[in-house]
Amino acid sequence: MGINAPPALKALIVQGAAAAMVLALLPGAAFFWGSVVPPLAAAFAIGLAAAVAGALWRLPPWWLPIQLFFAPALLGMLSMQLSPAWFLGALALLLVIYGGVFHGRVPLYLSSRQVKRAVAEWLPDGPFRLIDLGCGLGGMLAYLAGARPQGNYLGVEAALLPYGLSRLRRGLSRGRWAVAWGSFWRRDVGSFDVIYAYLSPVPMPRLARKLRAEMQPSALFISNTFPLPGIEPAAIVELQDIHHSVLYVYRYANIIGRPSSIPATVETRHVENC
């Protein structure tokens, strides 16, 4: 299966194909067993077929349990005779919260307080500009604006509800930070001294190309958890927080493939969970 599509679209296609296949086979199964196939058994057959097809199509691993249990869960909700408005409301809520997953393949991740502290220690001493690619609820921006007030901070968020909540948070807090709605792919990062991201493995190769084209030579790129593939970072900071977070710190020389005069370091910080 060589179709290039977002995982959500692949999951939808697989789920629909599995349902069509199982429903088409139900009459033959009923004839073979001499009785009508129970709806729950049919639902699990759909889920199993969808999970297998999803694995063959190389869906991310976390999609496979969703594929397996989607049809049984849907059957259970239908048996409760819920109004269709509940399903539409749930879908709308997922779209406004996780809108970034559908077009950017980036779920909503929240940086821990230990990560925020570690990022703050990498910021320049003088005035600087930082951009948070996919800022979520604005927690990183609000923290850094308070901890390092000499900076000017901008977050970009594509999912509607997190963007709205981050704007609300901005109105209730102080500091020089702002949030813009939209795709960070359309935002030039060349004017920023520090670029921070907590994305997913999927967009990292494309992000590396964007950084090579736009990043200024003196800038830093800090990625939470997900490294740039095939690029040696200038430093790796391992945080013993609840998520066992890892920060990958890149200089411009690393990203464009030039040998860095500063050797790569690995730093482990043991911090209390809070």
pLDDT of residue 65: 83
The verdict on 123 and 177 lying in the same domain is: yes
Is 12 part of a structural domain of the chain?
Answer: yes
Which CATH number do you get for residue 130? 3.40.50.150
pLDDT of residue 39: 83
Strands 246-251, 220-224: parallel, antiparallel or unpaired by DSSP?
A: antiparallel
Is 92 part of a structural domain of the chain?
Answer: no
The verdict on 198 and 119 lying in the same domain is: yes
The verdict on 126 and 65 lying in the same domain is: no
The verdict on 78 and 212 lying in the same domain is: no
The verdict on 28 and 117 lying in the same domain is: no
**Last residue in a domain, options 82, 100, 134:** 82
Is 99 part of a structural domain of the chain?
Answer: no
**Last residue in a domain, options 26, 60, 82:** 82
The verdict on 147 and 230 lying in the same domain is: yes
The C-alpha atoms of residue 25 and residue 100 are separated, in whole angstroms, by: 37
Q: Cβ(220)–Cβ(249) under 8 Å?
A: yes
The verdict on 170 and 264 lying in the same domain is: yes
Is 96 part of a structural domain of the chain?
Answer: no
pLDDT of residue 31: 64
Is 216 part of a structural domain of the chain?
Answer: yes
Mean pLDDT of successive 10-residue segments in the chain (274 residues)? 60 86 80 72 89 82 79 77 58 51 54 91 95 92 95 92 87 91 93 94 92 95 94 91 87 78 50 45
Is 274 part of a structural domain of the chain?
Answer: no
The verdict on 172 and 225 lying in the same domain is: yes
The verdict on 126 and 220 lying in the same domain is: yes
The verdict on 45 and 136 lying in the same domain is: no
Global pTM?
0.65
Query: How many domains does the structure of the chain reveal?
Result: 2
Range of the domain at 78: 7-82
pLDDT of residue 244: 83
The verdict on 124 and 238 lying in the same domain is: yes
Is 150 part of a structural domain of the chain?
Answer: yes
Is 107 part of a structural domain of the chain?
Answer: no
pLDDT of residue 107: 54
The verdict on 239 and 134 lying in the same domain is: yes
